[in-house]
Chains A and B, each alone.
Chain A
């Protein structure tokens, strides 16, 4: 429960901080921290416009997308305090709950019959598919090292006094952060700010969504960011008391948002055909973690 409340609070300001950091880096004052939430409130007040060619799938998709991410959020523990959904192997459930939401988002886009959205859907599907191995490899290595198979018990067993825990936590934090950028279609894989449909990934997929549907999709994006940052925070707060854990958790959320903002300010995005390479690199780093754990635990030699 703690984790869910904290994720909801972080989601309120996560994208606002990214936007603020980017504006500051560009020498502008920038919109307020709460601007993204205000955008969503504005969208919720508007009606949605539906094209004649879309069917029920299109109307359903944003809600399923949001629901799937909320379910995934429920799995996220707060250190050694389990999330609302917790069982052995819950990280597999977590990954496929997210995949279900993505699947609906993709078929919702295909339902419009627009060539733009088809293009976006194919890109989104490709990159999500490529990103999946990285998640499972790093979770697998964490599970192997701790000997547990649920989020809560894995994170509780990660003890900051052990060097191996630290090394693995840092690698995992990096992978989760980059995964968050890929899953949310941020730089360097996608550029959320562009108005050019042909270069978009996620944005072009939701071109036809408007009003409340678009608001739901935005909210889902904010939640996803906070959720991944919560996973990162969990790597470090598993064994400390809840009273210290909460400030550390929030600090890590802010840090993640700042890192993403700075990264988006000072690099250009990748050429589309370099993205698969980049995402595979992530899987390779995760593989490194797997081998590291196997070596340490004597399973390899």
Chain B
């Protein structure tokens, strides 16, 4: 079996020729066998044109062995294949995506629902028959300033029996543009724009892929700046989400205080790199914005003020009966569900699945720095407390980083040019969860395929499962507790 698998590390680069190519039957059997182990999950599964046909590339992350298992399969265009998703549910969205992008048929797939190419007049939503049932359709245009997505509930009175989520309104063709745009700066900007609130983690993943394709090792100061920026991004987003969760249960005090607390963090980012979301802060091969002693002092005093108010507010929220009664036992995702759909990041960690790339496949300066925060109840309260604990953890990480500040030379560097016929993969843990970028180069060293996977790709399914059996009036709070990305999913 081991001859059929190539083991690579996070941020590794291999020759495409070294990746074992199997026949589809053994490819499928091997996938199902490997995914049977709960410590493994699919980091990316995609197809790209190779010769006259298509090559399927499977990347499975192994949390225990801390590596990524890669193997491939060549198939003809328009081939009819036996679905692997009917055995491993976590693969269903990948197969739908491959079907939609490349026209391969997966026979026995549980539900061929469009992933992104959605045309309302050609599509029949899932239906249930019954006198007492009614449907509620929400979106794609919503009452708040949020991204477009369509939610269709089938309800019995106030109770939700089924939620169907239809996305795709934000499909911009990011992966195609990655290949079409030849300049590095254009590609970095595309990576930053995959999901604007996760700009740092997505551009870090892109930089990881690019540097390993070029065979370039960045120095410590570059990794240090990326790690710091990622933790600040996590803190800012988690704090904003806590405010939004309080806002959704109409707890005005929490909404006001957390809303205010997010500001100093994003403002610090503005002071450091000129952008509140950290755009422009991560570039392949070098750190564009030096971190000075003055910035260090500023950040330390910002954090001291932040921590005092944050802890006080969290203490209130975590002990306030009327808030707890809204959060507890609302939107539960069980451990079995999280494992079966291959949930990552917060959706997995709140349901008792310890899945954190910073711990299992460390990158940047994370090695040994992070012990994943895991909650077991899987409800909205678990996701709230997870955020609180992760912010506390990020505070510790940021302070540890500030203790050991490297020298910045501030010089612009180039990583060089990508090696020909290579495959590179880079995983990062964004604040939502695992982000995976994969790239394949052709004989000239040009990008032949670029695959992006945002954690929302897996986790939208967790939301659909979480609201089943809940009241429809609790949907907004469930949705907010996941706070998934529409554009990250739609690419």
Which positions in A face B, CB cutoff 8 Å? 22, 25-28, 115-116, 118-119, 187-188, 191, 193-199, 264-274
Q: Which of B224-232, B243-251, B346-354 contacts A (4 or more CB under 8 A)?
A: B243-251
Q: CA–CA, A270 to B326, complex, Å? A: 7
Q: CA–CA, A199 to B471, complex, Å? A: 9
CB neighbours of A197 from chain B (8 A): 138, 143
B387-406: contact bitstring with A at CB < 8 Å (1 yes, 0 no)?
00000000000000000000
B323 contacts the other chain (Cβ, under 8 Å)?
yes
CB neighbours of A28 from chain B (8 A): 256
A selection of 5 A-B contacts at a CB cut-off of 8 Å is A119-B136, A195-B144, A267-B251, A270-B325, A272-B158
Most chain A beta-carbon contacts within 10 A, residue among B248, B251, B325, B473: B473
A115 vs chain B, min Cβ distance (A): 5
B482 vs chain A, min Cβ distance (A): 15
Question: Are the C-beta atoms of B250 and A266 separated by less than 8 Å?
Answer: no
Q: Which 6 A-B pairs have the closest CB atoms?
A: A191-B250, A26-B256, A268-B251, A196-B476, A269-B250, A268-B249
Question: Are the C-beta atoms of B475 and A198 separated by less than 8 Å?
Answer: yes
Q: A268-B249, A268-B250 are in contact. Are A199 and B473 (CB under 8 A)?
A: yes
A8 vs chain B, min Cβ distance (A): 29
Residue of A nearest to B330 (CB): A271
B135 contacts the other chain (Cβ, under 8 Å)?
yes
B134 contacts the other chain (Cβ, under 8 Å)?
yes
CB contact between B473 and one of A188, A264, A272 (< 8 Å): that residue: A272
Given contacts A199-B248, A269-B326, A274-B325, 7 further A-B contacts (CB under 8 A): A26-B253, A119-B136, A199-B476, A266-B253, A268-B251, A268-B325, A272-B473
CB contact between A271 and one of B255, B260, B325 (< 8 Å): that residue: B325
Q: CA–CA, A196 to B247, complex, Å? A: 11
Query: Interface of chain B, helix or strand or loop or mixed?
Result: helix
A15 vs chain B, min Cβ distance (A): 16
Q: CA–CA, A199 to B134, complex, Å? A: 17
Question: Are the C-beta atoms of A25 and B253 separated by less than 8 Å?
Answer: yes
B 464-491 contacts with A by CB, 8 A:
471-477
Question: Are the C-beta atoms of B138 and A198 separated by less than 8 Å?
Answer: yes
Residue of B nearest to A265 (CB): B252
Question: Are the C-beta atoms of B322 and A188 separated by less than 8 Å?
Answer: yes
Q: A115-B134, A188-B322 are in contact. Are A271 and B471 (CB under 8 A)?
A: yes
CB neighbours of A188 from chain B (8 A): 322
Question: Are the C-beta atoms of B322 and A27 separated by less than 8 Å?
Answer: no
B104-140: contact bitstring with A at CB < 8 Å (1 yes, 0 no)?
0000000000000000000000000000001111100
CB contact between A268 and one of B138, B322, B471, B475 (< 8 Å): that residue: B322
Residue of B nearest to A115 (CB): B136
B140 vs chain A, min Cβ distance (A): 14
Residue of B nearest to A190 (CB): B250
Residue of A nearest to B317 (CB): A268
Q: A115-B137, A119-B136, A272-B158 are in contact. Are A198 and B251 (CB under 8 A)?
A: no
B332 vs chain A, min Cβ distance (A): 14
CB neighbours of A265 from chain B (8 A): 252-253
Question: Are the C-beta atoms of A27 and B158 separated by less than 8 Å?
Answer: no
Question: Are the C-beta atoms of B134 and A118 separated by less than 8 Å?
Answer: yes
Question: Are the C-beta atoms of A273 and B158 separated by less than 8 Å?
Answer: yes
Question: Are the C-beta atoms of A193 and B250 separated by less than 8 Å?
Answer: yes
CB neighbours of B474 from chain A (8 A): 199, 271-272
Question: Are the C-beta atoms of B320 and A268 separated by less than 8 Å?
Answer: yes
Q: A195-B144, A273-B471 are in contact. Are A268 and B323 (CB under 8 A)?
A: yes
Q: A25-B253, A272-B471 are in contact. Are A116 and B248 (CB under 8 A)?
A: no
Q: CA–CA, A235 to B321, complex, Å? A: 33
B315 vs chain A, min Cβ distance (A): 15
Residue of A nearest to B246 (CB): A268
A243 vs chain B, min Cβ distance (A): 39
Question: Are the C-beta atoms of B248 and A196 separated by less than 8 Å?
Answer: yes
Q: CA–CA, A267 to B251, complex, Å? A: 6
Question: Are the C-beta atoms of A271 and B326 separated by less than 8 Å?
Answer: yes
Question: Are the C-beta atoms of A198 and B322 separated by less than 8 Å?
Answer: no
B321 vs chain A, min Cβ distance (A): 9
CB contact between B472 and one of A26, A119, A195 (< 8 Å): that residue: A119
CB neighbours of B135 from chain A (8 A): 115
Q: CA–CA, A25 to B134, complex, Å? A: 40
Residue of A nearest to B471 (CB): A272
B392 vs chain A, min Cβ distance (A): 23
B290 vs chain A, min Cβ distance (A): 36
CB contact between B250 and one of A116, A187, A274 (< 8 Å): that residue: A187
B16-35: contact bitstring with A at CB < 8 Å (1 yes, 0 no)?
00000000000000000000
CB neighbours of B144 from chain A (8 A): 195-196
CB neighbours of A266 from chain B (8 A): 252-253
CB contact between B322 and one of A22, A194, A199, A267 (< 8 Å): that residue: A267
B 442-470 contacts with A by CB, 8 A:
none
Residue of B nearest to A126 (CB): B158
CB neighbours of B158 from chain A (8 A): 272-273
Q: CA–CA, A191 to B252, complex, Å? A: 11
CB neighbours of A22 from chain B (8 A): 252
CB neighbours of B248 from chain A (8 A): 194, 196, 199
Question: Are the C-beta atoms of A268 and B326 separated by less than 8 Å?
Answer: yes
CB neighbours of B251 from chain A (8 A): 267-268
Q: CA–CA, A125 to B17, complex, Å? A: 69
Q: CA–CA, A193 to B143, complex, Å? A: 12
Most chain B beta-carbon contacts within 10 A, residue among A119, A194, A199: A199
B 206-250 contacts with A by CB, 8 A:
246-250
Q: CA–CA, A220 to B357, complex, Å? A: 56
A44 vs chain B, min Cβ distance (A): 23
A125 vs chain B, min Cβ distance (A): 13
B246 vs chain A, min Cβ distance (A): 8
Q: CA–CA, A188 to B471, complex, Å? A: 17
Question: Are the C-beta atoms of B472 and A198 separated by less than 8 Å?
Answer: yes
CB neighbours of A274 from chain B (8 A): 325
Residue of B nearest to A269 (CB): B250
CB neighbours of B471 from chain A (8 A): 271-273
B134 vs chain A, min Cβ distance (A): 6
B241 vs chain A, min Cβ distance (A): 15
CB neighbours of B143 from chain A (8 A): 195-197
Q: CA–CA, A118 to B136, complex, Å? A: 10
Question: Are the C-beta atoms of A27 and B249 separated by less than 8 Å?
Answer: no
CB neighbours of A273 from chain B (8 A): 158, 471
B129 vs chain A, min Cβ distance (A): 17
Residue of A nearest to B160 (CB): A198
Most chain B beta-carbon contacts within 10 A, residue among A191, A198, A266, A267: A198
Q: CA–CA, A188 to B251, complex, Å? A: 10
Question: Are the C-beta atoms of A27 and B256 separated by less than 8 Å?
Answer: yes
Q: CA–CA, A270 to B327, complex, Å? A: 11
Q: CA–CA, A27 to B256, complex, Å? A: 8
Residue of B nearest to A266 (CB): B253
Most chain B beta-carbon contacts within 10 A, residue among A22, A26, A27: A26
CB neighbours of A270 from chain B (8 A): 322, 325-326
Q: CA–CA, A272 to B473, complex, Å? A: 7
Question: Are the C-beta atoms of B252 and A26 separated by less than 8 Å?
Answer: yes
